[in-house]
Amino acid sequence: MQTPDPYLPPADVEDDWLEPTPRPIRPLGSVWGWGGTLTWVSGLVLAISAFTGWYSGGGQGVTTAVIGWHTGTLGKLVFFIGLAVLAIVALREAGIELPATVPESLVVIALGSLSTIFVLIRLISIPDEFFGWRGRGIGIFISLIASLLVIAAGLLRAGEEL
């Protein structure tokens, strides 16, 4: 009688690093909880609000507006703070995280506080070059609300990290 051929186990398949691997699906509550969603939405609104009308006024007939970008350095800084908040979210989604000694929520709270101070300065003190524009436009209030929402998003992120 002839013996059967021995059973050979299948050869180990080596991982092909050129093959794309699917990204693991994360649970909704971990990354895209209220804090994560509010962070990028409020950062986007804050960045866009620098291009809305902060002051309005005019003479007879035509009403004009001055956008936040043209109010000086503080208006530009509000835009760049909004971009920084968006960059923090984009880096986190790309897998790059801040060092453990600097929590992301603390950075978001600090950026929101800084932008709130800048917007409040522009809300209270109108630059001299815009003396004819005594009315505040809707854009400065949108910026103020977005700045406060960045702070709230940072606080929610801090609660999620605990």
Per-residue pLDDT tens digits for 111-123: 999 999 999 999 9
Any idea what the Cα angle at residue 131 is, between residues 128 and 132, rounded to 5°?
160
Distance CA 70, CA 162 (A): 41
Residue 26's pLDDT is what? 53
The amino acid occupying position 116 is T
- In the structure, what pLDDT confidence band is assigned to residue 29 with cuts at 50, 70 and 90? very low
Edge to edge, what strands does the sheet with 135-136 contain?
64-67, 53-57, 135-136
Please tell me the total number of residues recorded for the chain in this structure: 162
Highest mean pLDDT among 23-37, 60-74, 82-96, 121-135: 82-96
Average pLDDT over residues 122-136: 76
- In the structure, what pLDDT confidence band is assigned to residue 31 with cuts at 50, 70 and 90? very low
Q: Does the pLDDT at position 159 exceed 70?
A: yes
Residue 98's pLDDT is what? 83
Residue 30's pLDDT is what? 47
pLDDT over 70 for what percent of the chain?
Answer: 77
Higher pLDDT, 59 or 43: 43
Residue 144's pLDDT is what? 96
State pTM to two decimals.
0.75
Residue 127, φ and ψ in degrees, nearest 5: -60, 150
Average pLDDT over residues 21-36: 60
Average pLDDT over residues 31-45: 83
Q: Does the pLDDT at position 107 exceed 90?
A: yes
